[in-house]
Amino acid sequence: MGRRSAVLSAAAEVANAANAVRPLIRRGNGTLLAFAFGWPTSENAPLVITGSMLDALRRVIRGDHRTASGRISLLLKAVSWALLVLVHRRGVQSRPSFETPLRDALGADYREVARAGRPAGVWATSRIRRRYVQQTVKYGPHKANLADIWRRADLPRDGKAPVLLQVPGGAWMIGDRRPQGYPLMGQLAEQGWICVSIGYRVSPKYPWPDHIIDVKQALAWVKANIAEYGGDPESVCITGGSAGGHLAALAALTPNDPKWQPGFEDADTSVVAAVPIYGRYDWFSRTGNGRGQFVDALQRVIVKLPFAGNEQLYHDASPITLVHPEAPPFFVLHGTSDSLIPVDEGREFVAALQEVATAPVVYAEIPHAQHAFDIFGSPHGHYTADAVEKFLNWVLAQREMSRVSSGAGEASEHR
């Protein structure tokens, strides 16, 4: 029985590795399982290989390799290792997928305004919050309205540092400010940015649109208070993944919209750039893989109102319907192997945005990347942080050049 279980265990390792190479389930509710196993494996392949090898060594020392089933299990393990080496190698070699879209959209010299960081690794990334978070603040009236302020301890209080608001994902049902965005916020904080990582009200206890109201409340708080921490309220950007990507895109496209700012209608909630990552941008279409089930879930758990008779509510919550010429610069990222939100969602949103926006719209499609590919300190996580930093620094540099040019023009007129 034990020998048979060893073979089954090794076969499961092969299936898990194959699922990391390419999700084994592409449609239906099974995509949740494909993500649950494929995500941590694909982003932490070296750790998975190490654990499997230690188990193989234990079995060799015990003498399992002397039996036919033992040899089969070792062979299967070796197959899984080869697949995982392929997964890790693809991740390491994926940097051009992040950088080429930036170069194509922003110009060959976009790199000159940014400095590249170094991979922190999974363990270092998990501890990075301790280095940069000295204070947690309350940004709104609700219990969930807490925010961590990420900043270097030596950052001047009058430094006017650029600011990034990080909106967590979690299917609009989790919304915890930890531990998402750590590679990005750690890198930006080290380079002199201030990052504000927020929590917000979530379903099913709180129905839509409480989620976006809280994000708007956080933006209003940042604009009014971040100068006390050394930040520049005129240089606020926003990012988020999954549900956070949806909320970040929606907030960026609807600055100062009074229907989502009850009690603070006059507050400034505009941003200078948005970076939604593997987000949901369409809350109404039922055509496409998994979209019918998604709209059903929205009706039952998130919005708690039927689509029929409330169509406008669902359309107003869809960033793809709200694109407009004055949208701020966008950098959209999505993985081609995303099991939870198919990559078509990102493609369609970017196409709609590029059709009307006058500001740059950059789209990075990451080959073989699963959902939530940026959370760990993996190559994907590091490359995401590096690319986002370059994009945001480019946006801020362009704004500064425009300001200086405008100031020089005004001075010439007065002569």
Name which residue leads in pLDDT, 159 or 167.
Answer: 167
Tell whether 187 and 317 lie within a shared domain: yes
Pairing of strands 194-198, 231-241: unpaired
The answer to the question of residue 415 being in a domain is no
The answer to the question of residue 412 being in a domain is no
Rounded Cα distance between 415 and 410, Å, is 9
Q: Please, what sign has the CA dihedral across residues 24, 29, 32, 37? A: negative
Residues belonging to the active site: 242, 338, 371
The answer to the question of residue 143 being in a domain is yes
The answer to the question of residue 375 being in a domain is yes
- Across the chain, mean pLDDT equals 91
- Per-residue pLDDT band at 413 (split at 50, 70, 90): low
Tell whether 87 and 103 lie within a shared domain: no
Tell whether 17 and 102 lie within a shared domain: no
| pLDDT tens-place string over residues 21-38 | 999 988 888 898 999 999
Tell whether 38 and 179 lie within a shared domain: no
Least confident of 196-205, 218-227, 288-297, 310-319: 288-297
Rounded Cα distance between 248 and 251, Å, is 5
Could you tell me what percent of the chain has a pLDDT over 70? 92
User: Which structural domain range is residue 18 located in?
Assistant: 2-92
Question: Could you say which of 77, 92, 107 is where a domain stops?
Answer: 92
Question: Tokens 């425009």 label which residue?
Answer: 402
**pTM of structure:** 0.92
Tell whether 79 and 225 lie within a shared domain: no
Domain count across the chain: 2
The answer, yes or no, to whether residue 115 has pLDDT greater than 50, is: no
Six-digit token string for 99: 């950088």
Tell whether 83 and 107 lie within a shared domain: no
| pLDDT tens-place string over residues 235-250 | 999 999 999 999 999 9
The answer, yes or no, to whether residue 126 has pLDDT greater than 80, is: no
| pLDDT tens-place string over residues 84-100 | 999 999 999 999 999 99
Q: Report residue 182: phi and psi, to 5°.
A: -60, -45
The answer to the question of residue 309 being in a domain is yes
Question: Could you say which of 45, 63, 92 is where a domain stops?
Answer: 92
Question: Could you say which of 92, 107, 126 is where a domain stops?
Answer: 92
> Mean pLDDT throughout 285-310?
94
The answer to the question of residue 410 being in a domain is no
Tell whether 216 and 205 lie within a shared domain: yes
Tell whether 84 and 233 lie within a shared domain: no
